[in-house]
């Protein structure tokens, strides 16, 4: 399978690989996917409690090149956004940016799920109501 | 300078030996005769070449030259053997025994016959990929006409106890077929000593051309016959019609001769390189060899790297031409059924690589391969949340995964 240049770039030079301290209240952690499905994504955000701006984002992904690239790109996009702005990131934006083929769209869906899961974790930790489930049209 | 990507997929196919090509060339042009033309020297020359190839092949497998039926390759040989026996011996019985780790050419042929009403037993394998002889003995019935068990597996290289299988099969009055595609030319194969009644093999796995193979069919003790699966001129003792592929057969013959004369030294060199590759890669923590290491072809190593995803791994080693148990590299999404039969979980099956060495593999290439795989595995693990959880002592089987 031919990967796009951007996927190869993120795979070869992943941005923001790492781990934030998940015990901190300002850190939200999202872990999505399952090993037997071939994709597990962990995405973490560190939010400024005053401004609600995401100051740092880290990921670790077990998956194919497209899954790695999707999560790497997501961390880039998250930094500097407010939590509400982050929720607007749509999986199709990732598909477009990385030129993902149809069989790899699920990687972008997983990245969007990871973002929402991380935000949810942050909201729950800080006494906010969890987000409503979003239905995907796969 | 290394030629990239480094080819380590010799269980898929091998590079043709130049000596084989040279032997074949005249039969495309000057000596282009039809081996069935009895009336002129063009035909005689072709027939002579075919006869010589039969001798070369017979010597490699310990048969008589009259017992070689030429086909288009191992898939056809497997079809001809299994369907041909089922048809020829239909009045004797309607039961066939095979194993779950067989190649699709055998499994799908058996499934085809099942649809036509035949009974098929699929023997399981243990964690090493070996069938259980007790299970085979228990499965044999007076209705059993054929046992078809591969000599060596194409994914893990595991060699089945062929002589013992033949003995049990014959004691029950059935015939024994083996798909020896991966074994012929790589390890000693002797149809007489091993009690093989039918055997499939092909040229392109042993440095010969693609599109030509053979089926060994025993002529005495007992005399075995298969019903032809194509109608035509009655070539190959009536078992396989079609004008013989003279250059291809000459190539198969030459390839067989080279394998026979060089097997001993070649096996030593290749297995040493394979062992070096394997020991080096096993230094990576949480890496496992799939299948028996004792009963195995000398040129194969199948290794799983835990906590690394297969397709991601393949992308990281793009300078190596290897096969993966990972589905995503092939058309289907299912991981290797062979590895799953060994009891591997989906994720471990996905993260496996098959290294197939050949006559042309060099130490320099193996060093390069080791470096590539080590680098990719280490990098991907640094990126893997599963590796981090494992390092932190988290039991991954207890994690509630958010199903996607």
Chain A interface includes B289 (CB < 8 A) = no
**Cβ contacts (< 8 Å) between A37 and chain B: which residues?**
403-404
In a domain, A132, yes or no: no
Chain B interface includes A68 (CB < 8 A) = yes
CATH number for the domain formed by residue range(s) B6-11+263-383: 3.90.1150.10
In a domain, A50, yes or no: yes
Return all residues near A92 (Cβ < 8 A) that are at least 6 apart: A108
> B309 vs A39: CB contact, 8 Å cut-off?
yes
Q: Which residue of A has its CA nearest to B377?
A: A62
Instruction: Specify the residue for token string 């080791």.
Output: B370
Question: What pLDDT score was predicted for residue A37?
Answer: 81
Instruction: Specify the residue for token string 């197939």.
Output: B356
- A64 in active site: no
Q: Which residue of B has its CA nearest to A8?
A: B315
Closest to B17 in 3D by CA, of B184, B209, B298: B209
**Cβ contacts (< 8 Å) between B398 and chain A: which residues?**
none
The active-site residue, picked from A21, A24, A34, A37, is: A37
Question: What pLDDT score was predicted for residue B326?
Answer: 67
Chain A interface includes B89 (CB < 8 A) = no
**Cβ contacts (< 8 Å) between B312 and chain A: which residues?**
11, 62-65, 67-68
Question: What pLDDT score was predicted for residue A135?
Answer: 59
Mean pLDDT over the full length of chain B: 95
Question: What pLDDT score was predicted for residue B324?
Answer: 86
Scan residues 317-336 of B and list those with Cβ closer than 8 Å to A. 326-329
Annotate B190-204 with DSSP letters as a single string.
Answer: -HHHHT-SEEEEEST
Looking at the structure of chain A, the number of domains it has is: 1
Q: With a cut of 70, which residues of chain B have pLDDT below it?
A: 326-333, 403-404
Question: What pLDDT score was predicted for residue B331?
Answer: 46
Q: What are the structure tokens assigned to B75, written together?
A: 């898939």
* pLDDT tens-digit readout, B161-183: 999 999 999 999 999 999 999 99
Reduced to 3 states (helix: H, G, I; strand: E, B; else coil), residue A47 is strand
Residue A67 has pLDDT above 50, yes or no: yes
Residue B389 CA to residue B25 CA, distance in Å, equals 59
pTM score, whole prediction: 0.93
In a domain, A120, yes or no: yes
Helices B246-282/B363-382 angle, 10° precision = 50
Chain B interface includes A133 (CB < 8 A) = no
Q: Which residue of A has its CA nearest to B351?
A: A38
Q: Which residues pair with A17 in a beta bridge?
A: A59
Closest to A84 in 3D by CA, of A125, A52, A47, A130: A52
Chain A interface includes B286 (CB < 8 A) = no
**Cβ contacts (< 8 Å) between B386 and chain A: which residues?**
35, 40, 62
Question: CATH 3.40.640.10 spans which residues of chain B?
Answer: 18-259
Residue B251 CA to residue B20 CA, distance in Å, equals 5
Chain A interface includes B36 (CB < 8 A) = no
**Cβ contacts (< 8 Å) between A36 and chain B: which residues?**
345-347
Q: List the end-to-end C-alpha distance of chain A, in Å, as a whole number.
A: 21
Question: What pLDDT score was predicted for residue A138?
Answer: 46
May I ask the CATH class of domain B18-259? alpha beta
Is there a cis peptide before residue B5, judged by omega within 30 degrees of 0? yes
In a domain, A27, yes or no: yes
- Residue among B326, B347, B382 minimizing CB distance to A36: B347
Question: What pLDDT score was predicted for residue A6?
Answer: 96
Q: Which of B383, B394, B401 to mutate to test the interface with A (most CBs of A within 10 A)?
A: B383
> A61 vs B402: CB contact, 8 Å cut-off?
no
In a domain, A138, yes or no: no
In a domain, A135, yes or no: no
Question: What pLDDT score was predicted for residue B403?
Answer: 58
Q: How many contacts, defined by CB atoms under 8 Å, are there between A and B?
A: 86
* pLDDT tens-digit readout, B201-251: 999 999 999 999 999 999 999 999 999 999 999 999 999 999 999 999 999
> A40 vs B311: CB contact, 8 Å cut-off?
no
- Residue among A34, A60, A64 minimizing CB distance to B311: A64
Helices (H), A25-82: 65-78
Query: What CATH number did the domain enclosing A46 receive?
Result: 3.90.1010.10
CB A53 within 8 A of CB A127: no
CA of A126 vs chain B CAs: smallest distance (Å): 22
- Residue among B307, B383, B403 minimizing CB distance to A17: B383
Question: CATH 3.90.1150.10 spans which residues of chain B?
Answer: 6-11+263-383
Chain A interface includes B315 (CB < 8 A) = yes
- Beta strand pairing call for B6-7 and B68-71: unpaired
Chain B interface includes A4 (CB < 8 A) = no
> A61 vs B384: CB contact, 8 Å cut-off?
yes
Measure CA B12 to chain center: 8
Distant-in-sequence contacts of B346-350, Cβ < 8 A, 24+ apart: B346/A35, B346/A36, B346/A38, B347/A35, B347/A36, B347/A38, B347/B306, B347/B309, B348/B288, B348/B304, B348/B306, B349/B304, B349/B325, B350/A38, B350/B309, B350/B310, B350/B311, B350/B324, B350/B325, B350/B326
> B404 vs A39: CB contact, 8 Å cut-off?
yes
Question: What pLDDT score was predicted for residue A136?
Answer: 57
> B388 vs A60: CB contact, 8 Å cut-off?
yes
- A107 in active site: yes
In a domain, A11, yes or no: yes
Q: Averaged over A19-47, what is the pLDDT? A: 94
CB B346 within 8 A of CB B335: yes
Helices A65-78/A91-98 angle, 10° precision = 110
> B402 vs A65: CB contact, 8 Å cut-off?
no
CB B200 within 8 A of CB B81: yes
Question: What pLDDT score was predicted for residue B87?
Answer: 98
Chain B interface includes A63 (CB < 8 A) = yes
In a domain, A114, yes or no: yes
Residue A134 has pLDDT above 70, yes or no: no
Confidence category of residue A130, pLDDT binned at 50, 70, 90? confident
**Cβ contacts (< 8 Å) between A3 and chain B: which residues?**
315
Residue ranges making up the domain that contains A75: 5-125
E-state strands within B32-116: 68-71, 95-99
**Cβ contacts (< 8 Å) between B319 and chain A: which residues?**
none
């Amino acid at each position: 399978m031919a990967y796009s240049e951007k996927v190869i770039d993120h795979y070869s030079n992943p941005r923001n690989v790492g781990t934030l301290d998940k015990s901190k209240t300002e850190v939200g952690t999202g872990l999505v996917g399952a090993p037997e499905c071939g994709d597990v994504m962990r995405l973490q955000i560190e939010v400024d409690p005053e401004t609600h701006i995401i100051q740092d984002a880290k990921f670790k992904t077990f998956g194919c090149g497209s899954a790695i690239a999707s999560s790497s790109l997501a961390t880039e996009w998250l930094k500097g956004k407010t939590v509400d702005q982050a929720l607007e990131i749509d999986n199709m934006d990732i598909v477009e940016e990385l030129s993902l083929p149809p069989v790899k769209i699920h990687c972008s869906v997983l990245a969007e799920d990871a973002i929402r899961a991380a935000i949810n974790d942050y909201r729950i930790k800080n006494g906010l109501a969890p987000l409503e489930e979003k239905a995907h049209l796969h | 300078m290394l030629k990239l990507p480094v080819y380590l997929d010799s269980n898929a196919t091998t590079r043709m030996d130049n000596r084989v090509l040279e032997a074949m060339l005249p039969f495309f042009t000057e000596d282009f005769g039809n081996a069935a033309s009895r009336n002129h020297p063009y035909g005689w020359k072709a027939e002579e070449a075919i006869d010589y190839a039969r001798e070369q092949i017979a010597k490699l497998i310990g048969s008589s030259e009259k017992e070689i039926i030429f086909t288009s390759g191992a898939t056809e040989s497997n079809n001809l053997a299994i369907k041909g026996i089922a048809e020829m011996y239909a009045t004797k019985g309607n039961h066939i025994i095979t194993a779950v780790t067989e190649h699709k050419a055998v499994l799908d042929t058996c499934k085809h016959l099942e649809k036509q009403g035949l009974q098929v037993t699929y023997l399981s394998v243990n964690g090493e990929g070996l069938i259980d002889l007790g299970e085979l003995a228990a499965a044999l019935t007076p209705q059993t006409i054929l046992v078809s068990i591969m000599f060596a597996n194409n994914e893990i290289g595991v060699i089945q106890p062929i002589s013992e299988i033949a003995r049990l099969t014959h004691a029950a009055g059935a015939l024994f077929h083996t798909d020896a595609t991966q074994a012929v030319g790589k390890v000693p194969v002797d149809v007489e000593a091993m009690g093989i009644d039918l055997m499939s093999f092909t040229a392109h796995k042993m440095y010969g051309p693609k599109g030509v193979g053979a089926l060994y069919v025993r002529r005495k003790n007992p005399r075995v016959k298969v019903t032809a699966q194509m109608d035509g001129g009655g070539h190959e003792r009536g078992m396989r019609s079609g004008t013989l592929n003279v250059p291809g057969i000459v190539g198969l013959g030459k390839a067989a001769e080279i394998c026979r004369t060089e097997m001993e030294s070649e096996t030593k060199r290749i297995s040493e390189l394979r062992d070096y590759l394997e020991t080096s890669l096993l230094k990576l923590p949480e890496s496992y060899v799939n299948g028996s290491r004792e009963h195995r072809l000398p040129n194969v190593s199948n290794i799983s790297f835990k906590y690394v995803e297969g397709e991601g791994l393949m992308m990281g080693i793009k300078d190596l031409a290897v096969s993966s148990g990972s589905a995503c590299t092939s058309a289907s999404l299912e991981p290797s059924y062979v590895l799953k039969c060994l009891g591997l979980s989906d994720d471990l099956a996905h993260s496996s690589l098959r290294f197939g060495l050949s006559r042309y593999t060099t130490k320099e290439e193996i060093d390069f391969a080791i470096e590539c795989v080590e680098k990719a595995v280490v990098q991907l693990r640094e990126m893997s949340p599963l590796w981090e959880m494992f390092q932190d002592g988290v039991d991954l089987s207890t994690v509630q995964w958010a199903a996607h």
